């Protein structure tokens, strides 16, 4: 399974980066191959200063070795080795009219001292972080997510949509990071879903990413915007940074397993503002966004 999924994310990285380069029309992804001293490595691809994407990364990694002490405590095990691979992407567009997007699809195995697999699971998801809220964009993104889920179980979309709203939440701000999507973790074999079933589900979600995001980019990338709207985008990016550094499990896992810092922190946007006690004007488009972030919506009404 680990070889099969690692092959999948390598191919997915290629298809996503080539499509995004075509959408941008100017910038190309720069590739950086790296090795982890304790075992494994990855292939980082970063795009910067394009027509559409100010900064972004589409990274894959496959790391293995002895589970660090902090992670042994987290999983409640003594001696264990692990293997983890995944694709993680974040795209920060230049225009505040185009939403930031994040996605991640991953696989994890844990072994006993004899090398036998004692646990394995999939995780991942994709979520949207707009600066100006276009309802039709949110509906489109969620509809693609729901379609991918419905092909595997009718409860997957409502369950993983709610988990996304709960996970990508800045509790210290009492607001969501964005308008959600899907978030799933610890997807293990059960009577109803074996690991091949989970693989099929996770890869279908991964394959849906470009369909979920690119039409939104194409629709919004040429809209005009003001300096004030750009400032709002940078203020909201600050909330994105806060979430990644305070709450995000993937960031914390990378830091605790001696991951590659440049790859871990590539999710941070290049230009950010923190304005003291900032509140949008009542009745403004900016306030419209905040109200939805404070009270997540059901975008797909069946």
Instruction: Catalogue the active-site residues.
Output: 102
3-state secondary structure of 2: helix
Run of H or E including 73 = helix 69-75
DSSP codes, 230-264: HHHHHHHHHHHHHHHHHT-HHHHHHHHTT--HHHH
Q: Cα-flanking dihedrals φ and ψ of residue 271, to 5°?
A: -130, 120
Q: How far is CA 85 from each of CA 47, 127, 191, 233, rounded to the nearest angstrom? A: 22, 20, 25, 32
Cα(266)–Cα(55) distance, integer angstroms = 9
Tokens coding 187: 């997807």
Cβ partners under 8 Å of residue 299, min gap 6: 135, 138, 139, 141, 142, 143, 179
Please check whether residue 255 is in contact with residue 264, taking contact to mean a CB–CB distance below 8 angstroms. yes
Cα(84)–Cα(40) distance, integer angstroms = 9
Which of 149, 174, 152, 177 has the alpha carbon at shortest distance from 165? 177
Which of 258, 251, 256 has the alpha carbon at shortest distance from 39? 258
Which of 263, 236, 234 has the alpha carbon at shortest distance from 250? 263
Q: Cα-flanking dihedrals φ and ψ of residue 57, to 5°?
A: -145, 145
């Amino acid at each position: 399974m680990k070889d099969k999924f690692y092959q999948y994310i390598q191919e997915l990285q290629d298809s996503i980066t080539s499509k995004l380069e075509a959408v941008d029309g100017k910038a190309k992804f720069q590739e950086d191959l790296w090795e982890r001293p304790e075992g494994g490595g990855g292939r980082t691809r970063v795009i910067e200063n394009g027509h559409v994407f100010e900064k972004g990364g589409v990274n894959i990694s496959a790391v293995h070795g002895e589970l660090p002490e902090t992670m042994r405590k987290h999983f409640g095990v003594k001696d264990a080795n692990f293997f983890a691979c995944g694709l993680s992407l974040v795209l920060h567009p230049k225009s505040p009219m185009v939403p930031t997007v994040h996605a991640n699809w991953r696989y994890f195995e844990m072994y006993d001292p004899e090398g036998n697999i004692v646990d394995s699971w999939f995780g991942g998801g994709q979520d949207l972080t707009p600066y100006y809220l276009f309802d039709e964009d949110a509906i489109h993104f969620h509809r693609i997510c729901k379609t991918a889920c419905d092909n595997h179980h009718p409860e997957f979309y409502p369950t993983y949509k709610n988990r996304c709203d709960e996970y990508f939440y800045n509790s210290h701000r009492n607001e969501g990071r964005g308008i959600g999507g899907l978030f799933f973790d610890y997807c293990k074999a059960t009577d109803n879903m074996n690991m091949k079933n989970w693989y099929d589900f996770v890869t279908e979600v991964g394959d849906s990413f470009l369909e979920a995001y690119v039409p939104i980019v194409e629709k919004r990338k040429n809209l005009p915007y003001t300096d004030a709207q750009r400032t709002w985008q940078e203020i909201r990016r600050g909330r994105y940074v806060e979430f990644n550094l305070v709450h995000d499990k993937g960031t914390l896992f990378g830091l605790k397993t001696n991951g590659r810092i440049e790859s871990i922190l590539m999710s941070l946007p290049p230009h950010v503002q923190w304005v003291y006690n900032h509140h949008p004007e009542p009745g403004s488009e900016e306030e419209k966004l905040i109200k939805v972030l404070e009270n997540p919506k059901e975008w797909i009404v069946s």
